[in-house]
Amino acid sequence: MLLLDVLANKLKDFQPSNIASQSEETPPPHY
């Protein structure tokens, strides 16, 4: 999904790499 990829990229850029790493390991429940 392109849209999701773009959103994830923006989130990674906005949030610190630490949070991004955790998000990748365990996706948020609300997603």
Q: What is the pLDDT of residues 1-31, one digit of tens each?
A: 688 888 888 877 766 555 555 555 666 665 5
- pLDDT for position 6: 85
Decide: 20 and 11 in contact? Cβ < 8 Å.
Answer: yes
Position of tokens 């365990």?
26
- pLDDT for position 29: 63
Q: Residue 11: count other Cβ atoms within 10 Å of its Cβ.
A: 12
Tell if the pTM clears 0.85, that is, is over it.
no
- pLDDT for position 21: 55
28 is written with which tokens?
């948020």
| DSSP one-letter code for 30 | T
- pLDDT for position 23: 54
- pLDDT for position 2: 87
